[in-house]
């Protein structure tokens, strides 16, 4: 089962790179949230995508949105990845892929964890889903375009 545009985003709680628990409900009523699922820390495509989110992070903040990256890597791996590339946003550890399954993120080429971005408004409604395994920077552009329409 996968979520669709117009659905309420499923709530989840995962550990961040700092070890603290972060839930989607923490942002409801306060901020829109851009949740991007990516395959693996410190790989070429995931680094390009994460750095593109980093480079536009101030724009996301000005638009009243938070960026959250989710992969199956450990909090320690996320901490190292965030430090190495100066990533200013939250990275969450979905080690058993439970949240990935909750959202219904499809696999890439049937084996790799998928690369999908969800734009969730302040009320928790999914406003856009962008799925592209290989157009890394388009995730940022699509998220910004959607957020402009949500304002």
Q: Could you read off the pLDDT of 75-125 as tens digits, one per residue?
A: 999 999 999 999 999 999 999 889 989 898 877 655 666 778 999 999 999
- pLDDT of 64 reads 92
- Marked catalytic residue, from 24, 46, 70, 82: 46
3 within a domain of the structure (yes/no): no
141 within a domain of the structure (yes/no): yes
Confidence of residue 135 (pLDDT cuts 50, 70, 90): low
108 within a domain of the structure (yes/no): yes
- pLDDT of 3 reads 86
Contact 31, 66 (CB under 8 A): yes
- Count of the separate structural domains present in the chain: 1
101 within a domain of the structure (yes/no): yes
1 within a domain of the structure (yes/no): no
Percent residues over pLDDT 70 in the chain: 89
8 within a domain of the structure (yes/no): no
**Mean pLDDT across 21-27:** 95
For residue 91, count CB atoms less than 10 angstroms from its CB and return exposed for 0-12, middle for 13-18, buried for 19 or more.
buried
d(C-alpha 112, C-alpha 133), whole Å: 10
Report the CATH number at residue 26: 3.40.30.10
Please give the residue range of the domain that contains residue 114.
13-150
- pLDDT of 150 reads 64
120 within a domain of the structure (yes/no): yes
Active site residue 51: no
d(C-alpha 76, C-alpha 19), whole Å: 8
135 within a domain of the structure (yes/no): yes
- pLDDT of 131 reads 75
Residue 41 CA to chain centroid, in angstroms?
A: 13
């Amino acid at each position: 089962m996968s979520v669709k545009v117009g659905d309420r985003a499923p709530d989840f709680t995962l550990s961040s790179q700092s070890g603290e628990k972060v839930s989607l409900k923490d942002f409801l009523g306060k901020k829109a949230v851009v949740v991007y699922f990516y395959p693996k820390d410190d790989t070429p495509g995931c680094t390009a995508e994460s750095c593109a989110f980093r480079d536009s992070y101030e724009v996301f903040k000005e638009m009243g949105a938070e960026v959250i990256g989710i992969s199956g890597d450990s909090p320690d791996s996320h901490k190292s990845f965030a430090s190495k590339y100066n990533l200013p946003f939250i990275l969450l550890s979905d080690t058993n892929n439970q949240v990935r399954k909750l959202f219904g993120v499809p696999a890439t080429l049937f084996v790799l964890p998928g690369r999908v971005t969800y734009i969730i408004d302040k009320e928790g409604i999914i406003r856009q889903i962008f799925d592209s395994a290989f157009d890394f920077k388009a995730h940022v552009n699509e998220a910004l375009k959607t957020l402009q329409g949500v304002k």
